[in-house]
Amino acid sequence: MDPFAKTMWRFGWTFFFGMVIAFLAMSAVYFHARPRCSDTVVSQATSPDQQWIATIMERRCGDESPFFTHVNLRQASQPEQRGYFSGREDAGEILLVEQDALATGITLQWTSPEALVVRCAHCIRHEARRDMTWGPLHITYEMTGL
């Protein structure tokens, strides 16, 4: 094979692999910026000592999928930690209900720096998750709609 043909083959393969790498990088950025189902913050409550934040979030992963409402806890000094591609915040999840946030009527009340009361006035389905403690925090649930 003559030197010019070798150079053209080498350039062709280099260009091809460069395009594949560019496609993968742009896909990663796109799926990070526009996750299929991300969490939407409905409300937040900060503990009396300003050390903890409880957040009510809602997620729906498509038009035909059900709504999920969940409550997450985190230290006030830490930012929300959402999945890079999923957009979901799973860390610190203490309550998960298969119902939209407006219909559940979930409210949060800190009764002390380490005690949180989660009220769900209209929860009609059984929750998928309900944790009573999270780290040093104690959680009490008042589920009147069940």
Which residues form the domain of 50? Answer: 39-143
Task: Report which of residues 1 and 115 the model is more confident about.
Answer: 115
**27 and 78 share one domain:** no
Kindly give, in sequence order, each residue whose CB lies less than 8 Å from that of residue 111, ignoring residues fewer than 6 positions away. 117, 140
Let me know whether 7 and 51 are in one domain: no
Shared domain for 58 and 13, answered yes or no, is no
**Cα–Cα distance, 81 to 19 (Å, whole number):** 32
Name the token pair of 74.
Answer: 């985190």
Are 28 and 77 found together in one domain? no
Q: In this structure, are 72 and 2 located in the same domain?
A: no
On whether the CB atoms of residues 84 and 134 are closer than 8 A, the answer is no
pTM metric for this prediction: 0.70
Q: What is the pairing mode between strands 93-97 and 133-134? A: unpaired
| 75 and 101 housed in the same domain | yes
Q: Are residues 120 and 49 in the same domain?
A: yes
How many CB atoms within 10 Å of residue 42?
A: 17
Answer yes or no: do 30 and 52 share one domain.
no
The reply to whether 122 and 56 lie within a common domain is: yes
Q: Are residues 56 and 29 in the same domain?
A: no
What number of other Cβ atoms are within 10 A of residue 16's Cβ?
A: 10
**What's the order of all strands across the beta sheet hosting 129-130?**
39-46, 52-60, 67-75, 93-97, 129-130
Tell me the pLDDT tens digit for each residue of 78-128.
Answer: 887 665 555 567 778 888 888 888 888 889 999 999 999 998 888 776 667
Asked if residue 43 and residue 16 are part of one domain, the reply reads no
Q: How many domains does the chain have?
A: 2
Out of 49-58, 79-88, 128-137, give the one with best mean pLDDT.
Answer: 49-58
Does 4 lie in the same domain as 28? yes
Main-chain phi, psi angles of 26, to 5 degrees: -70, -35
